[in-house]
Chains A and B, each alone.
Chain A
């Protein structure tokens, strides 16, 4: 039995001294393998007398179990060591930049459209649609601008020959809409009051300089019912401006003006502070013209098939591009239409920047990447 103790010590010390899994396995084979030391000793038991056989057999079984446990424990240690060695060779420079990704952008015109829809949607407006190429009835005549009305010159108009088989005739030609008011007429033709619509869209005038582009974007509004007054016009536009510029209060002023399709007509200014470097909306002593509006002219109601003795209401029109410039500090209208990827990236909005009155109008898409 003393022999067994020394054998045990010898084997365990070998196991503990092993430094890799291969050596450990060799030890296992040399001790517990088919021809291993312990295996051989166990084979020799049969030749011993019974009493000795029992005693030595028990001792050998204990020894075998202890050796197995020691090998298993050493194996875990050596495996850990091997893994750690392997991992140290796998180091990657995690300061490398990420793989290239492009986050897209929504154009400011679309963003403002969505903000405007969100605000007027809350006030119960629907959104109208209409054609970009219009007949003169819907673009002019129905809006109290008969053929020779001087106001037609206020809007430098693009024309299209309505019948290419004949020479161009200015009186019957189509026009590329100079405002989205045609949609107002088309809405009235289809629907009796109460009417609350906004008519957003592209508009076109033959004008191209630092502050004008031949195409721009407008949103017009039309509210018709029995008791709508100019006080509602002022309230509606004030509510809109406050919501749009995300201010609790905003100074506004109205000036009498003239549009053939409204009477009385007015232009609305909002208070601002102009300095050499910035424009701050909602504060200061300067005024900024933002829109034209007025009470719908009875001739316009008549042209739309609505009885002006029964119904009345207001209309307004504002520039989407201009709102974008004012709210987001975009300096030059012409750049809106230049598709310069640097501009689109800088002034565009992230794809998740959706607008709602309850979820917020702006800054909803996280930081631009």
Chain B
């Protein structure tokens, strides 16, 4: 909401400075966003007189002036047509910053004559747009004064109005609040009752009094819509960014911002028959002023003539029966509509207008008649014409809202005692009718306030006027000793992040949205959860996996010249559209090389085992079963079918890992291999709550452990996990570790076979192993591996 200082002073009698006004506005809840004061740019400009004017010897339109600022005289070359001896204007000496060009003025030579400054036009100093002539001030203007003191410059103030303060969508409402805050007095509104010269020829009926409690209409004949709107009005509208269109439009715009009063003006000659306010029919068509056609529903208000809806009540006029330049007879609508009805229609049809904005918040229900009179007065004054009687359907006798305030609640709710007298005084200043009833303050809302419903609302009014900064600050009472506050799940999320970061990955945060063009491959059997109104096409689906976004990040980093990427995110993914159908994934990708090449030659391409290691580390950090992981080879189709795995706990999937499927990389135009993992943190069982933090007792054998190697020839399809499991199974007590240290396929081996070499650790418990003991153990392993995998000792 913007307004100018002079506009405010039209309603508020005050001596306060601009700074005082803007500070007060913010303090009472009308937050000032910006104050634009052209006067602040006028440093260096001074009032000066032209002492003499000579024709430039080398030009037929330029003149050589002698400009006098009271202390110095300057020679100035000037091309303005209105130069004359004795003219007092605004002079910019050399070095002055000119707002129009944002440059300092330099001494120049124009056609051989030196010019030491400039006599200014309004555009050059930022207070207007005209460049036709230099400023010509009254002849009694003192010279040598700063321009900002002499020029009547109107600063523009922009405030942000919260939805509860609808009355402050008009300058008068703001003035009223400032007056209540003690910054001046509200001037009375100069409205005379309009005497109708004839009966309104258009009959008006209201079929839906709930949605339209009051409707007033006045016929004005013989208006001239080609007339010029007065300068004071167009100046104010211009200042807040509204262009003058025609007097009738300017007047409705002006009253929207002056009194927060939406109006509508029909071209009465275009209306057919009488006017009916009714709910629209389902499917009824309406062509609005914005040139769009809308399909109406029965919850929308139509202002209708015999040919249908001509105005979408309280929201926007129709294109067919609105005013034009040639309009001569008009019907002026000044009405009250129910906020819920306006909001619903506006929201569903997605029409924004100043009118809707005001009606859906609050329009003073008792202002219809007086505002109609005020608007009529302006129309008659600017456009001429003759006004009819006012047709009023419904009654403004609307029950005011009443709320009660227990004076002691200021102390018990706000923590700041305020006397009943003071509270009553404040409320009274704000326009409430106040009285004491059984120790409670009864406050009857003024009609312009629609937001006062309960005691807390009254408390806010009192506190707002006293100032929030007057409330003391008290630390929260804290009787308990600080305790751990993260749940086990929340703690896991935090620790998994730190674990993955400690593995050299960068944590990132990407949108919960994804691009369905990519994420369609990552749904893993779930339905797409599409956003109804995505902000861009690339963010149209609630992501089924974090990987599409991480892959996009890989692609972007490669494009920036950073092809080695290791990033992860721990965040929600969505499996269903209902609230709660989401889980937290710790997902990461690694692409390119482990490092740029260096002297040590340790850099290598990332592979599936990096992703597997990340997944297991994340599971371990979340206190999940990471040892002896159960790994199956049925990862989703977005992974490489032969280089991916699923980490399970029974039926429960804890994680997927693997290379991203090359066809997906191709679709995304990523040319390097990418390995990825996804750990579903919600599927990791939480450890049982146990108060005992003691570790299991450590039993250390005092006998020497022995390492032995064995190599088996097995079918290529036999998994490493099967060989390890069989080996461990040979003796669960004495075999304490099994490692695979070589895998060989090729010459010297039969077709379809591979050699797997394992290294075992035997740990005696009771006494040192004899050669015979070790041989027995090795034989047990050979038998067990042969039985479980068909492997033969190589």
With A104-B504, A105-B507 known to touch, is A223 a contact of B476 (CB < 8 Å)? yes
Q: Which of A101, A126, A173 contacts B485 (CB 8 A)?
A: A126
A140 interface residue, CB < 8 Å from B? no
* Contact code string B129-154 (vs A, CB < 8 Å = 1, else 0): 00000000000000000000000000
A179 interface residue, CB < 8 Å from B? no
Within 8 A of A (CB), among B585-600: 594-596, 598-600
- Contact (Cβ within 8 A) B497 A258: no
B192 interface residue, CB < 8 Å from A? no
- The residue in chain B whose Cβ has the minimal distance to the Cβ of A296 is B456
- Contact (Cβ within 8 A) B344 A148: yes
A234 to B415, CA, bound (A): 10
- Contact (Cβ within 8 A) A344 B343: no
- Contact (Cβ within 8 A) A208 B533: no
- The residue in chain A whose Cβ has the minimal distance to the Cβ of B470 is A254
With A227-B412, A235-B474, A258-B29 known to touch, is A100 a contact of B602 (CB < 8 Å)? yes
A124 to B473, CA, bound (A): 18
* Contact code string A117-132 (vs B, CB < 8 Å = 1, else 0): 1001111111101011
A207 to B534, CA, bound (A): 10
- Give chain B residues whose Cβ lies under 8 Å from the Cβ of A75: none
With A104-B501, A254-B468 known to touch, is A230 a contact of B510 (CB < 8 Å)? no
- Give chain A residues whose Cβ lies under 8 Å from the Cβ of B505: 102, 104
A164 to B350, CA, bound (A): 22
A109 to B506, CA, bound (A): 13
- Contact (Cβ within 8 A) B504 A103: yes
A153 to B350, CA, bound (A): 11
- Give chain B residues whose Cβ lies under 8 Å from the Cβ of A231: 414-416, 471-474
- Contact (Cβ within 8 A) B600 A236: no
Task: Looking at the assembled complex, report how far the CB atom of A151 sits from the nearest CB atom of chain B, in whole angstroms.
Answer: 5
- Contact (Cβ within 8 A) B165 A258: yes
With A104-B505, A295-B413 known to touch, is A148 a contact of B347 (CB < 8 Å)? yes
- Contact (Cβ within 8 A) B507 A258: no
Task: Looking at the assembled complex, report how far the CB atom of A26 sits from the nearest CB atom of chain B, in whole angstroms.
Answer: 42
Q: Which of A153, A229, A258, A344 contacts B415 (CB 8 A)?
A: A229
- Give chain A residues whose Cβ lies under 8 Å from the Cβ of B471: 230-231, 234, 254
| Residue of B416, B468, B475 contacting most chain A CB atoms (<10 Å) | B468
- Contact (Cβ within 8 A) B475 A257: no
- Contact (Cβ within 8 A) B562 A99: no
- Contact (Cβ within 8 A) A102 B595: yes
Q: Which of A123, A132, A263 contacts B478 (CB 8 A)?
A: A123
Q: Which of B28, B357, B487, B581 contacts A256 (CB 8 A)?
A: B28
- The residue in chain A whose Cβ has the minimal distance to the Cβ of B26 is A255
Within 8 A of A (CB), among B489-531: 489-490, 494, 497-498, 500-513, 527, 529-531
* Contact code string A248-269 (vs B, CB < 8 Å = 1, else 0): 0000011111101001111100
B560 interface residue, CB < 8 Å from A? yes
- Contact (Cβ within 8 A) B513 A214: yes
Interface range for B: 35 or more
A177 to B68, CA, bound (A): 67
- Give chain B residues whose Cβ lies under 8 Å from the Cβ of A336: 509
- Give chain B residues whose Cβ lies under 8 Å from the Cβ of A267: 31
- Contact (Cβ within 8 A) B572 A132: yes
B690 interface residue, CB < 8 Å from A? no
- Contact (Cβ within 8 A) B347 A133: no
The tally of CB-CB contacts under 8 A between chains A and B is 284
Task: Looking at the assembled complex, report how far the CB atom of A264 sits from the nearest CB atom of chain B, in whole angstroms.
Answer: 4
Within 8 A of B (CB), among A113-169: 114, 117, 120-127, 129, 131-135, 138, 147-154, 158-162, 164, 168
A333 to B469, CA, bound (A): 31
- The residue in chain B whose Cβ has the minimal distance to the Cβ of A196 is B476
- Contact (Cβ within 8 A) A174 B577: yes
B188 interface residue, CB < 8 Å from A? no
- Give chain A residues whose Cβ lies under 8 Å from the Cβ of B562: 341-342
A338 interface residue, CB < 8 Å from B? yes
- Contact (Cβ within 8 A) B577 A164: yes
With A125-B485, A258-B162 known to touch, is A339 a contact of B508 (CB < 8 Å)? yes
- Contact (Cβ within 8 A) A258 B164: yes
A322 interface residue, CB < 8 Å from B? no
- Contact (Cβ within 8 A) A106 B487: no
A121 to B577, CA, bound (A): 33
Task: Looking at the assembled complex, report how far the CB atom of B366 sits from the nearest CB atom of chain A, in whole angstroms.
Answer: 21
A147 to B603, CA, bound (A): 59
- Give chain B residues whose Cβ lies under 8 Å from the Cβ of A297: 456
Q: Which of A160, A223, A257, A357 contacts B31 (CB 8 A)?
A: A257
B167 interface residue, CB < 8 Å from A? no
- The residue in chain A whose Cβ has the minimal distance to the Cβ of B451 is A258
- Give chain A residues whose Cβ lies under 8 Å from the Cβ of B566: 102, 104
A161 to B416, CA, bound (A): 47
B464 interface residue, CB < 8 Å from A? yes
- Contact (Cβ within 8 A) B512 A257: no
Q: Which of A133, A164, A227, A265 contacts B579 (CB 8 A)?
A: A133
B607 interface residue, CB < 8 Å from A? no
- Contact (Cβ within 8 A) B454 A202: no
Q: Which of B476, B511, B527 contacts A215 (CB 8 A)?
A: B511
- Give chain A residues whose Cβ lies under 8 Å from the Cβ of B577: 133, 160-162, 164, 174
- Contact (Cβ within 8 A) B580 A131: yes
- Contact (Cβ within 8 A) B456 A298: yes
- Contact (Cβ within 8 A) B602 A238: no
In the A-B complex, the 5 residue pairs with the smallest Cβ-Cβ separation, listed nearest first, are A231-B415, A256-B29, A258-B162, A100-B595, A104-B501
Q: List 13 A-B contacts (CB under 8 A).
A: A100-B600, A124-B478, A148-B347, A150-B163, A158-B531, A158-B532, A170-B347, A173-B532, A229-B474, A254-B468, A265-B460, A339-B567, A351-B498
